[in-house]
Structures are given as C-alpha cells and as structure tokens.
Amino acid sequence: MVLSYRDLRVWQESMDFVTDVYKATETFPKNEVFGISAQLRRAVVSIPSNIAEGSARKGRRELINFLHIAKGSLAESTTQLEIAKRLGFLSEESFEKLIEKGETIAKMINSLIRSLNRKEE
C-alpha cells in the first residue's frame, strides 16, 4: 500500500534524475546559467513535483492528469538534454546515461497510469 508519494518508486527515481541533471548542468558554460541550464533544471524539477502534487489531490483522475503533466516535463527535459549535447555541453556518455534514466522513468509513469486506469474499470 502506498502511503505517500515518497513511497512511489517513480517519484524516487525522478528525484535521482533531478540530482543527476543538476550535476550535469554544473559543467555547462557559465553564460548558460540563465539559458539552457536554467530551463533544463526547471523542467526536470517539474517531474517529481507533479507526481507529488497529483498524489496529494483528491482523486485518481487528478493523479493521472498530473502524471501526464510529469510525462510532458520529462519529454521537455530529454529534448533539452539533446540540445545540450548538440551544443557540446554534454558528452555522449553523460547524455546516454541521462536519456536511459529518462526512458526508465517514462516507462514507470506509463505503467502507473495504466494501473490507475485499470482500477477505474
């Protein structure tokens, strides 16, 4: 039984993803502090934040809605990681590790949405 959003593996994994992205953006050029670095950090923080917010809402439908928002933030984050790689701010190895983690989180979000949808049937 899930007692809190903190008990959700997807929330835990997305928190780790935030930490990984923050560490990666520390190496970005200083002139990007208000550019791609800030945008990427905001997007990645939105993933666990939306999972938490949806979990705190009243109903399953609201949680599902916030999980879809989290998926959108994840897509935004991975797009920005691709941009950072193309600009030479991320090595191929760092990029691949972050993208792999993002894909894992996406699968977890999708699984949770499917599970919640089945409970409504």
Alpha helices, H only, 3-91: 9-25, 36-56, 60-86
Crossing angle (nearest 10°) for helices 36-56 and 9-25: 170
* 36 has pLDDT over 80: yes
What tokens does 72 get?
């959108």
pLDDT at residue 59 in the model: 86
pLDDT at residue 120 in the model: 65
Q: What is the pLDDT of residues 42-59, one digit of tens each?
A: 999 999 999 999 999 878
Confidence of residue 33 (pLDDT cuts 50, 70, 90): confident
| In the chain, % of residues over pLDDT 90 | 88
What tokens does 65 get?
């809605």
Are 40 and 80 spatial neighbours (Cβ–Cβ below 8 Å)?
yes
SS3 98: helix
DSSP secondary-structure letter at 57?
S
* 3 has pLDDT over 80: no
Q: What is the pLDDT of residues 56-69, one digit of tens each?
A: 987 899 999 999 99
Torsion angle defined by CA atoms of residues 82, 102, 33 and 36, in that order, rounded to the nearest 10 degrees = 30
Confidence of residue 121 (pLDDT cuts 50, 70, 90): low
| In the chain, % of residues over pLDDT 70 | 96
